[in-house]
Amino acid sequence: MKLNILTLLIGMFALAVFLHHAFQLGWTPMRILGMVLAISGFVLLLIARLQLGRAFSIQAKATTLVTTGLYSRIRNPVYVFSGLTLAGLILWTGRPWFFLLFILLIPLQVFRSRQEAQVLADKFGDAYLDYRRRTWF
């Protein structure tokens, strides 16, 4: 519970800092789109992290198989919504060459998700395989 509260506080602080800087810049359609994507991705990222609860870890571990909330549709919502947040930030900054970082991030996230999938399959067996069939990425 303490880790979830800390995550929420850090997330709220980061969002406040972002919004403070965002409103100091001029508004263009690309900046607006970027802001919408970044904020919605970040909020969903926070929700996914909170729903993960104690099952969250930096290294792949299998303590609990979380299959509710966002995890009922997406196996790796933290990766998906961190990517959406990053894409929004790239659009918001107006620096398209930052998409190179985004392109590098994708294979890393796929690699990590495969490692996690193997750990979860080893621990939860058929329950994980059934969950995997019902969800995306």
The tens digit of pLDDT for each residue in 19-64 reads 787 777 778 999 999 999 999 999 999 999 989 887 777 677 788 8
Residue 119: pLDDT band by 50, 70, 90 thresholds? Answer: very high
* Owning domain of residue 72: 2-134
Total domains in the chain come to: 1
Q: Encoding tokens for residue 58?
A: 């930096």
List, in sequence order, every residue forming a beta bridge with 57; answer none if it has no partner: none
Phi-psi bin for 6: left (phi > 0), alpha (psi -120 to 50), beta?
alpha
How many whole angstroms from its chain centre is CA 61?
18
